[in-house]
Amino acid sequence: MSKGLAIVVTGANGGVGFGICHRLLVQLSAPSPPDAQPYFKLEVPGTTYANAGGNTGIVDEYTFDPDAGVTIIMACRDPKRAADARTRLYGLLDEYISKLKLGSEEEKYARRFRKNARLELEVLDLSSVRSVLEFGKTVSQKYEYLSHLIFNAGTATYSHLDILGFTWDLLRYPIYACQHPRRNIQVNGVLSKDNLGYTWQCNVFGHYVLYRSVQHLLLAYAQKSGSSARVLWMSSLDAEPEFDPKDDWQLTKTMHSYQASKFQIELIAAELERRTLEAQETGRVSSMSELVAPHGEIHHLVVSPGIIATNMSSLLNIPIPGWRWLMLAAFFLVRLLGSTHILMSLYAAAVSAVHLALVPLRAVPTVKNCPRLSPTDVGYPFWHSYHGQTASTVQLLRFGSENDRWGNDRPGVTAVPVWEEHPSAGEVLLERFERLYEAFDMAEAARGVTGNSKASNGWVA
Protein backbone atom coordinates (compact mmCIF):
# COMPACT_ATOMS: atom_id res chain seq x y z
CA MET A 1 0.00 0.00 0.00
CA SER A 2 1.46 3.36 -1.07
CA LYS A 3 2.07 6.32 1.24
CA GLY A 4 3.22 9.78 0.22
CA LEU A 5 4.90 10.18 -3.14
CA ALA A 6 5.41 6.96 -5.12
CA ILE A 7 8.15 7.42 -7.72
CA VAL A 8 9.38 4.98 -10.36
CA VAL A 9 12.98 5.54 -11.47
CA THR A 10 14.22 3.37 -14.34
CA GLY A 11 17.88 2.40 -14.35
CA ALA A 12 18.12 3.34 -10.67
CA ASN A 13 20.96 0.99 -9.73
CA GLY A 14 23.72 3.14 -11.23
CA GLY A 15 24.66 6.34 -13.03
CA VAL A 16 22.27 9.27 -13.05
CA GLY A 17 19.37 7.05 -11.92
CA PHE A 18 21.25 6.33 -8.70
CA GLY A 19 21.99 10.05 -8.33
CA ILE A 20 18.29 10.87 -8.75
CA CYS A 21 17.32 8.42 -5.99
CA HIS A 22 20.05 9.79 -3.72
CA ARG A 23 19.01 13.39 -4.29
CA LEU A 24 15.30 12.62 -3.83
CA LEU A 25 16.00 11.03 -0.46
CA VAL A 26 18.15 13.91 0.77
CA GLN A 27 15.79 16.61 -0.50
CA LEU A 28 12.64 15.00 0.87
CA SER A 29 14.28 14.53 4.27
CA ALA A 30 14.19 18.34 4.66
CA PRO A 31 11.07 20.19 5.91
CA SER A 32 11.25 22.52 2.90
CA PRO A 33 13.26 20.78 0.14
CA PRO A 34 15.57 23.31 -1.58
CA ASP A 35 14.97 21.64 -4.95
CA ALA A 36 11.22 22.23 -4.52
CA GLN A 37 11.66 26.01 -4.39
CA PRO A 38 11.04 28.09 -7.54
CA TYR A 39 14.27 28.85 -9.37
CA PHE A 40 13.42 30.33 -12.77
CA LYS A 41 12.31 33.91 -13.29
CA LEU A 42 9.32 33.72 -15.61
CA GLU A 43 9.34 36.40 -18.28
CA VAL A 44 5.61 36.79 -18.91
CA PRO A 45 3.48 36.76 -15.73
CA GLY A 46 0.08 35.16 -16.04
CA THR A 47 1.03 32.57 -18.67
CA THR A 48 2.29 29.87 -16.34
CA TYR A 49 0.79 26.42 -16.08
CA ALA A 50 -2.83 26.79 -15.12
CA ASN A 51 -4.35 24.75 -12.33
CA ALA A 52 -2.98 21.36 -13.39
CA GLY A 53 -6.37 19.75 -13.41
CA GLY A 54 -8.43 22.48 -15.01
CA ASN A 55 -11.68 22.65 -13.06
CA THR A 56 -11.27 19.29 -11.33
CA GLY A 57 -9.69 20.63 -8.14
CA ILE A 58 -6.23 19.22 -8.97
CA VAL A 59 -3.37 21.49 -7.86
CA ASP A 60 0.13 21.86 -9.26
CA GLU A 61 2.25 21.28 -6.16
CA TYR A 62 2.97 18.66 -3.53
CA THR A 63 2.76 18.70 0.24
CA PHE A 64 5.61 17.01 2.09
CA ASP A 65 5.00 15.03 5.26
CA PRO A 66 7.76 13.06 7.03
CA ASP A 67 5.24 10.54 8.30
CA ALA A 68 4.04 9.87 4.74
CA GLY A 69 7.62 9.43 3.59
CA VAL A 70 8.27 8.37 0.02
CA THR A 71 8.30 5.13 -1.93
CA ILE A 72 10.95 5.00 -4.64
CA ILE A 73 10.51 2.04 -6.96
CA MET A 74 13.90 1.16 -8.40
CA ALA A 75 13.12 -0.38 -11.79
CA CYS A 76 16.25 -2.28 -12.82
CA ARG A 77 17.27 -5.15 -15.04
CA ASP A 78 19.78 -6.74 -12.63
CA PRO A 79 18.26 -7.61 -9.21
CA LYS A 80 21.64 -8.05 -7.49
CA ARG A 81 23.00 -4.70 -8.61
CA ALA A 82 19.70 -3.11 -7.63
CA ALA A 83 19.88 -4.63 -4.14
CA ASP A 84 23.45 -3.39 -3.71
CA ALA A 85 22.37 0.08 -4.85
CA ARG A 86 19.49 0.11 -2.37
CA THR A 87 21.87 -0.68 0.48
CA ARG A 88 24.19 2.14 -0.59
CA LEU A 89 21.30 4.60 -0.87
CA TYR A 90 20.05 3.85 2.62
CA GLY A 91 23.63 4.27 3.84
CA LEU A 92 24.00 7.65 2.11
CA LEU A 93 20.74 8.89 3.64
CA ASP A 94 21.82 7.75 7.11
CA GLU A 95 25.19 9.45 6.63
CA TYR A 96 23.49 12.70 5.64
CA ILE A 97 21.14 12.62 8.64
CA SER A 98 24.01 11.86 11.03
CA LYS A 99 25.63 15.18 10.05
CA LEU A 100 22.58 17.26 11.00
CA LYS A 101 22.68 19.07 14.33
CA LEU A 102 21.49 16.67 16.99
CA GLY A 103 18.13 17.67 18.41
CA SER A 104 17.43 20.31 15.75
CA GLU A 105 14.06 20.49 14.03
CA GLU A 106 15.76 19.51 10.78
CA GLU A 107 17.27 16.41 12.39
CA LYS A 108 13.98 15.37 14.00
CA TYR A 109 12.14 15.80 10.70
CA ALA A 110 14.77 13.83 8.80
CA ARG A 111 14.64 10.92 11.26
CA ARG A 112 10.86 10.76 11.01
CA PHE A 113 11.19 10.77 7.24
CA ARG A 114 13.83 8.02 7.35
CA LYS A 115 11.43 5.69 9.15
CA ASN A 116 8.93 6.07 6.31
CA ALA A 117 11.28 6.13 3.31
CA ARG A 118 11.03 2.96 1.26
CA LEU A 119 13.21 1.78 -1.60
CA GLU A 120 11.43 -1.02 -3.45
CA LEU A 121 13.01 -3.20 -6.14
CA GLU A 122 11.24 -4.32 -9.30
CA VAL A 123 12.71 -6.10 -12.33
CA LEU A 124 12.43 -4.18 -15.60
CA ASP A 125 14.15 -4.97 -18.89
CA LEU A 126 13.30 -2.23 -21.37
CA SER A 127 14.63 -4.32 -24.28
CA SER A 128 11.69 -6.71 -23.75
CA VAL A 129 8.12 -5.47 -24.17
CA ARG A 130 6.94 -8.52 -22.23
CA SER A 131 9.12 -7.52 -19.28
CA VAL A 132 7.73 -3.97 -19.36
CA LEU A 133 4.12 -5.19 -19.45
CA GLU A 134 4.82 -7.65 -16.63
CA PHE A 135 6.34 -4.79 -14.65
CA GLY A 136 3.17 -2.77 -15.20
CA LYS A 137 1.01 -5.65 -14.02
CA THR A 138 3.16 -6.26 -10.93
CA VAL A 139 3.22 -2.61 -9.92
CA SER A 140 -0.54 -2.34 -10.44
CA GLN A 141 -1.05 -5.21 -8.01
CA LYS A 142 1.31 -3.80 -5.36
CA TYR A 143 0.58 -0.08 -5.35
CA GLU A 144 -2.56 2.02 -5.19
CA TYR A 145 -1.02 4.82 -7.23
CA LEU A 146 2.14 6.36 -8.68
CA SER A 147 2.98 10.06 -8.45
CA HIS A 148 5.98 10.15 -10.80
CA LEU A 149 7.66 8.23 -13.57
CA ILE A 150 11.28 9.22 -14.12
CA PHE A 151 12.44 7.66 -17.37
CA ASN A 152 16.18 7.70 -16.80
CA ALA A 153 17.45 4.38 -18.20
CA GLY A 154 19.23 4.49 -21.54
CA THR A 155 21.87 2.80 -23.64
CA ALA A 156 23.81 3.10 -26.88
CA THR A 157 25.35 0.65 -29.35
CA TYR A 158 28.86 2.05 -29.00
CA SER A 159 31.68 0.08 -30.58
CA HIS A 160 34.66 2.33 -29.85
CA LEU A 161 35.95 5.86 -29.51
CA ASP A 162 37.79 7.50 -32.39
CA ILE A 163 40.64 8.57 -30.11
CA LEU A 164 42.60 10.62 -32.64
CA GLY A 165 39.49 12.37 -33.87
CA PHE A 166 38.30 13.15 -30.35
CA THR A 167 41.75 14.48 -29.39
CA TRP A 168 41.73 16.75 -32.45
CA ASP A 169 38.24 18.00 -31.62
CA LEU A 170 39.23 18.56 -28.00
CA LEU A 171 42.21 20.69 -29.03
CA ARG A 172 40.18 22.81 -31.46
CA TYR A 173 36.77 23.03 -29.77
CA PRO A 174 37.16 21.70 -26.20
CA ILE A 175 33.71 22.69 -24.91
CA TYR A 176 31.80 21.46 -27.95
CA ALA A 177 33.87 18.23 -28.13
CA CYS A 178 32.75 17.29 -24.61
CA GLN A 179 29.18 18.56 -24.75
CA HIS A 180 28.39 17.16 -28.22
CA PRO A 181 30.83 14.30 -28.85
CA ARG A 182 30.84 13.15 -32.47
CA ARG A 183 33.61 10.55 -32.11
CA ASN A 184 31.67 7.95 -30.10
CA ILE A 185 31.28 5.41 -32.90
CA GLN A 186 28.01 3.47 -32.89
CA VAL A 187 26.91 0.32 -34.70
CA ASN A 188 23.69 0.46 -36.68
CA GLY A 189 21.18 -2.31 -37.33
CA VAL A 190 21.26 -3.77 -33.81
CA LEU A 191 17.91 -5.38 -32.93
CA SER A 192 16.32 -6.29 -29.62
CA LYS A 193 14.88 -9.67 -28.65
CA ASP A 194 11.54 -8.29 -29.92
CA ASN A 195 13.13 -7.64 -33.33
CA LEU A 196 12.87 -3.88 -32.83
CA GLY A 197 15.64 -1.30 -33.01
CA TYR A 198 17.63 -1.95 -29.82
CA THR A 199 18.57 1.60 -28.83
CA TRP A 200 15.15 2.87 -29.88
CA GLN A 201 13.33 0.27 -27.78
CA CYS A 202 15.49 0.70 -24.67
CA ASN A 203 15.53 4.49 -24.73
CA VAL A 204 12.14 5.46 -26.14
CA PHE A 205 9.55 2.79 -26.91
CA GLY A 206 10.11 0.74 -23.75
CA HIS A 207 9.42 3.83 -21.68
CA TYR A 208 6.34 4.63 -23.75
CA VAL A 209 5.00 1.13 -23.08
CA LEU A 210 5.74 1.62 -19.39
CA TYR A 211 3.81 4.89 -19.34
CA ARG A 212 0.81 3.34 -21.05
CA SER A 213 0.93 0.34 -18.72
CA VAL A 214 0.68 2.39 -15.52
CA GLN A 215 -1.31 5.41 -16.69
CA HIS A 216 -4.20 4.44 -14.44
CA LEU A 217 -1.91 4.56 -11.39
CA LEU A 218 -0.83 8.11 -12.23
CA LEU A 219 -4.45 9.17 -12.57
CA ALA A 220 -5.27 7.41 -9.29
CA TYR A 221 -2.62 9.53 -7.56
CA ALA A 222 -4.08 12.76 -8.96
CA GLN A 223 -7.58 11.79 -7.87
CA LYS A 224 -6.49 10.57 -4.44
CA SER A 225 -4.09 13.38 -3.53
CA GLY A 226 -5.52 16.34 -5.42
CA SER A 227 -2.08 16.97 -6.98
CA SER A 228 -0.96 16.43 -10.57
CA ALA A 229 1.18 13.43 -11.52
CA ARG A 230 4.34 13.90 -13.61
CA VAL A 231 6.31 11.94 -16.19
CA LEU A 232 9.93 13.01 -16.66
CA TRP A 233 11.54 11.94 -19.94
CA MET A 234 15.35 11.92 -19.88
CA SER A 235 16.84 13.49 -22.98
CA SER A 236 20.37 14.70 -23.70
CA LEU A 237 22.34 17.73 -24.81
CA ASP A 238 23.19 15.63 -27.83
CA ALA A 239 19.59 15.04 -28.98
CA GLU A 240 19.58 15.51 -32.76
CA PRO A 241 17.27 14.68 -35.71
CA GLU A 242 19.58 11.98 -37.07
CA PHE A 243 16.92 9.78 -38.66
CA ASP A 244 14.33 9.64 -41.41
CA PRO A 245 10.87 9.61 -39.78
CA LYS A 246 9.40 7.94 -42.87
CA ASP A 247 11.39 4.73 -42.99
CA ASP A 248 13.82 4.73 -40.05
CA TRP A 249 11.65 5.56 -37.05
CA GLN A 250 13.07 2.55 -35.16
CA LEU A 251 16.58 3.93 -35.75
CA THR A 252 18.16 0.84 -37.33
CA LYS A 253 19.75 2.64 -40.28
CA THR A 254 21.29 5.71 -38.72
CA MET A 255 24.81 5.64 -37.30
CA HIS A 256 23.62 7.97 -34.54
CA SER A 257 20.78 6.03 -32.95
CA TYR A 258 21.54 7.36 -29.46
CA GLN A 259 21.23 11.02 -30.51
CA ALA A 260 18.15 10.24 -32.59
CA SER A 261 16.47 8.34 -29.75
CA LYS A 262 16.87 11.34 -27.46
CA PHE A 263 15.36 13.62 -30.09
CA GLN A 264 12.43 11.22 -30.43
CA ILE A 265 11.94 11.41 -26.68
CA GLU A 266 11.53 15.15 -27.02
CA LEU A 267 9.07 14.76 -29.89
CA ILE A 268 6.96 12.21 -28.00
CA ALA A 269 6.97 14.15 -24.73
CA ALA A 270 6.07 17.38 -26.53
CA GLU A 271 3.14 15.72 -28.28
CA LEU A 272 1.85 14.12 -25.08
CA GLU A 273 2.11 17.41 -23.20
CA ARG A 274 0.35 19.25 -26.03
CA ARG A 275 -2.58 16.86 -25.67
CA THR A 276 -2.44 17.21 -21.88
CA LEU A 277 -2.76 20.98 -22.08
CA GLU A 278 -5.56 20.62 -24.63
CA ALA A 279 -7.46 18.37 -22.21
CA GLN A 280 -6.75 20.74 -19.33
CA GLU A 281 -7.96 23.81 -21.19
CA THR A 282 -10.94 22.40 -23.10
CA GLY A 283 -11.90 19.24 -21.23
CA ARG A 284 -11.38 17.11 -24.33
CA VAL A 285 -8.67 15.95 -26.74
CA SER A 286 -9.10 16.12 -30.50
CA SER A 287 -7.45 12.75 -31.18
CA MET A 288 -6.05 9.73 -29.36
CA SER A 289 -7.67 10.78 -26.10
CA GLU A 290 -6.69 7.51 -24.43
CA LEU A 291 -3.07 8.71 -24.24
CA VAL A 292 -3.71 11.45 -21.69
CA ALA A 293 -5.71 11.93 -18.51
CA PRO A 294 -9.27 13.25 -18.99
CA HIS A 295 -8.56 16.75 -17.61
CA GLY A 296 -4.79 17.00 -17.97
CA GLU A 297 -3.88 15.59 -14.56
CA ILE A 298 -0.65 14.00 -15.86
CA HIS A 299 2.11 16.27 -17.17
CA HIS A 300 5.11 15.36 -19.34
CA LEU A 301 8.44 17.17 -18.93
CA VAL A 302 11.83 16.76 -20.63
CA VAL A 303 15.07 16.80 -18.63
CA SER A 304 18.77 16.30 -19.30
CA PRO A 305 21.46 15.38 -16.76
CA GLY A 306 24.13 17.35 -18.60
CA ILE A 307 27.50 15.68 -19.17
CA ILE A 308 28.63 13.25 -16.48
CA ALA A 309 30.95 10.26 -16.46
CA THR A 310 28.92 7.05 -16.01
CA ASN A 311 29.42 3.34 -16.60
CA MET A 312 27.92 3.74 -20.08
CA SER A 313 31.26 5.18 -21.20
CA SER A 314 32.79 1.72 -20.66
CA LEU A 315 30.92 0.66 -23.83
CA LEU A 316 33.45 2.70 -25.82
CA ASN A 317 36.17 0.08 -25.18
CA ILE A 318 38.96 2.64 -24.83
CA PRO A 319 42.34 0.79 -24.83
CA ILE A 320 44.20 3.40 -22.77
CA PRO A 321 45.24 2.68 -19.16
CA GLY A 322 43.75 5.22 -16.79
CA TRP A 323 41.47 6.68 -19.46
CA ARG A 324 38.77 7.46 -16.92
CA TRP A 325 41.13 9.81 -15.10
CA LEU A 326 42.03 11.47 -18.39
CA MET A 327 38.34 11.93 -19.16
CA LEU A 328 37.68 13.48 -15.75
CA ALA A 329 40.66 15.80 -16.24
CA ALA A 330 39.26 16.89 -19.62
CA PHE A 331 35.84 17.47 -18.06
CA PHE A 332 37.33 19.55 -15.25
CA LEU A 333 39.34 21.65 -17.72
CA VAL A 334 36.31 22.25 -19.94
CA ARG A 335 34.24 23.31 -16.94
CA LEU A 336 36.94 25.82 -15.97
CA LEU A 337 36.84 27.12 -19.55
CA GLY A 338 33.20 28.02 -19.07
CA SER A 339 31.04 25.02 -19.86
CA THR A 340 28.01 24.99 -17.57
CA HIS A 341 26.94 21.48 -18.59
CA ILE A 342 29.89 19.44 -17.28
CA LEU A 343 29.05 17.96 -13.87
CA MET A 344 31.40 16.05 -11.63
CA SER A 345 28.99 14.09 -9.43
CA LEU A 346 25.85 12.03 -9.94
CA TYR A 347 24.13 13.99 -7.18
CA ALA A 348 24.72 17.24 -9.08
CA ALA A 349 23.61 15.70 -12.38
CA ALA A 350 20.27 14.87 -10.75
CA VAL A 351 19.39 18.49 -9.91
CA SER A 352 17.23 19.11 -12.99
CA ALA A 353 15.18 15.92 -12.62
CA VAL A 354 14.59 16.34 -8.89
CA HIS A 355 13.74 20.03 -9.26
CA LEU A 356 11.13 19.26 -11.93
CA ALA A 357 9.79 16.39 -9.86
CA LEU A 358 9.17 18.54 -6.77
CA VAL A 359 8.71 22.20 -7.73
CA PRO A 360 5.18 23.62 -8.27
CA LEU A 361 4.30 23.53 -11.97
CA ARG A 362 3.33 27.19 -11.89
CA ALA A 363 7.03 27.96 -11.32
CA VAL A 364 8.17 25.93 -14.34
CA PRO A 365 8.98 27.87 -17.54
CA THR A 366 6.98 27.08 -20.67
CA VAL A 367 7.22 28.13 -24.29
CA LYS A 368 4.62 30.83 -23.57
CA ASN A 369 6.29 32.43 -20.58
CA CYS A 370 9.83 32.27 -21.99
CA PRO A 371 9.27 33.70 -25.48
CA ARG A 372 12.85 34.87 -25.94
CA LEU A 373 14.23 31.34 -25.99
CA SER A 374 14.85 30.20 -29.55
CA PRO A 375 16.19 27.09 -31.29
CA THR A 376 19.63 28.70 -31.45
CA ASP A 377 19.80 28.31 -27.68
CA VAL A 378 19.87 24.53 -28.09
CA GLY A 379 23.60 24.62 -28.67
CA TYR A 380 24.10 23.23 -32.17
CA PRO A 381 26.52 25.62 -33.92
CA PHE A 382 25.11 24.74 -37.33
CA TRP A 383 21.52 24.03 -36.32
CA HIS A 384 19.80 26.20 -38.93
CA SER A 385 21.31 24.12 -41.68
CA TYR A 386 21.73 20.80 -39.96
CA HIS A 387 22.13 17.90 -42.37
CA GLY A 388 19.69 19.59 -44.73
CA GLN A 389 17.16 20.21 -41.93
CA THR A 390 16.19 23.57 -40.49
CA ALA A 391 14.36 24.80 -37.41
CA SER A 392 12.99 28.19 -36.47
CA THR A 393 10.27 27.66 -33.88
CA VAL A 394 10.14 26.10 -30.41
CA GLN A 395 7.95 23.13 -29.49
CA LEU A 396 8.90 22.66 -25.83
CA LEU A 397 11.63 23.36 -23.29
CA ARG A 398 14.31 20.95 -22.08
CA PHE A 399 15.44 21.37 -18.49
CA GLY A 400 19.07 20.50 -17.86
CA SER A 401 21.48 20.14 -14.98
CA GLU A 402 24.11 22.87 -14.89
CA ASN A 403 26.81 24.22 -12.57
CA ASP A 404 29.28 27.06 -12.39
CA ARG A 405 33.07 26.79 -12.55
CA TRP A 406 33.18 25.92 -8.86
CA GLY A 407 30.64 23.13 -9.02
CA ASN A 408 27.55 24.86 -7.59
CA ASP A 409 24.71 23.02 -9.31
CA ARG A 410 21.47 24.50 -10.63
CA PRO A 411 18.68 23.71 -13.10
CA GLY A 412 18.84 25.29 -16.54
CA VAL A 413 16.58 25.47 -19.58
CA THR A 414 17.00 25.41 -23.37
CA ALA A 415 14.56 25.41 -26.29
CA VAL A 416 13.69 22.26 -28.24
CA PRO A 417 13.03 23.17 -31.88
CA VAL A 418 10.46 22.03 -34.38
CA TRP A 419 11.93 20.13 -37.33
CA GLU A 420 10.54 22.25 -40.16
CA GLU A 421 10.82 19.60 -42.86
CA HIS A 422 8.70 17.27 -40.70
CA PRO A 423 6.50 19.53 -38.53
CA SER A 424 4.13 16.70 -37.60
CA ALA A 425 6.87 14.15 -36.80
CA GLY A 426 5.83 13.95 -33.14
CA GLU A 427 2.21 13.19 -33.94
CA VAL A 428 3.16 10.60 -36.56
CA LEU A 429 5.58 8.90 -34.18
CA LEU A 430 3.00 8.87 -31.39
CA GLU A 431 0.46 7.16 -33.64
CA ARG A 432 3.02 4.52 -34.64
CA PHE A 433 4.08 3.98 -31.04
CA GLU A 434 0.47 3.49 -30.00
CA ARG A 435 -0.32 1.00 -32.76
CA LEU A 436 2.77 -1.04 -31.91
CA TYR A 437 1.99 -0.87 -28.20
CA GLU A 438 -1.54 -2.11 -28.75
CA ALA A 439 -0.27 -4.99 -30.90
CA PHE A 440 2.07 -6.15 -28.13
CA ASP A 441 -0.55 -5.50 -25.46
CA MET A 442 -3.14 -7.62 -27.20
CA ALA A 443 -0.62 -10.41 -27.79
CA GLU A 444 0.34 -10.45 -24.12
CA ALA A 445 -3.32 -10.27 -23.07
CA ALA A 446 -3.82 -13.58 -24.84
CA ARG A 447 -1.33 -15.15 -22.43
CA GLY A 448 -2.71 -13.35 -19.37
CA VAL A 449 0.05 -10.79 -18.80
CA THR A 450 -2.05 -7.66 -19.28
CA GLY A 451 -5.41 -6.42 -20.46
CA ASN A 452 -6.33 -4.64 -23.65
CA SER A 453 -4.95 -1.10 -23.55
CA LYS A 454 -8.13 0.74 -24.46
CA ALA A 455 -10.08 -1.06 -21.75
CA SER A 456 -7.45 -1.05 -18.99
CA ASN A 457 -6.13 2.50 -18.91
CA GLY A 458 -8.50 3.50 -16.15
CA TRP A 459 -10.69 6.08 -17.88
CA VAL A 460 -11.65 4.85 -21.35
CA ALA A 461 -14.54 2.43 -21.55
Cβ-based neighbours of 450, under 8 Å, separated by 6 or more? 133, 134, 136, 137, 213, 441, 444, 456
**Under CATH, what is the fold of the domain 5-429?**
Rossmann fold (3.40.50)
Q: Tell me how long the chain is.
A: 461
- In sequence order, the β-bridge partners of residue 37 are none
Per-residue pLDDT of the chain (461 residues; tens, 9 = 90+): 346 999 999 999 999 999 999 999 999 999 999 999 999 988 765 555 655 555 556 778 898 999 999 999 999 999 999 999 999 999 999 999 999 999 999 999 999 999 999 999 999 999 999 999 999 999 999 999 999 999 999 999 888 887 888 888 888 888 888 788 888 888 999 999 999 999 999 999 999 999 999 999 999 999 999 999 999 999 998 888 888 888 999 999 999 999 999 999 999 999 999 999 888 888 888 788 899 998 889 999 999 999 887 766 666 667 777 777 777 788 888 888 888 899 989 999 999 999 999 999 999 988 877 766 665 444 444 333 444 555 557 778 999 999 998 889 999 998 887 777 778 899 999 999 999 999 999 998 887 766 544 444 444 32
Q: Are 60 and 49 in contact (CB under 8 A)?
A: yes
What b-and-e string marks burial along 343-379, b requiring 16 or more CB atoms within 10 Å of the CB? bbebbbbbbbbbbbbbbbbbbbbbbebbeebebebbb
- Name the H helices within 48-187: 79-98, 105-115, 129-142, 163-172, 174-179
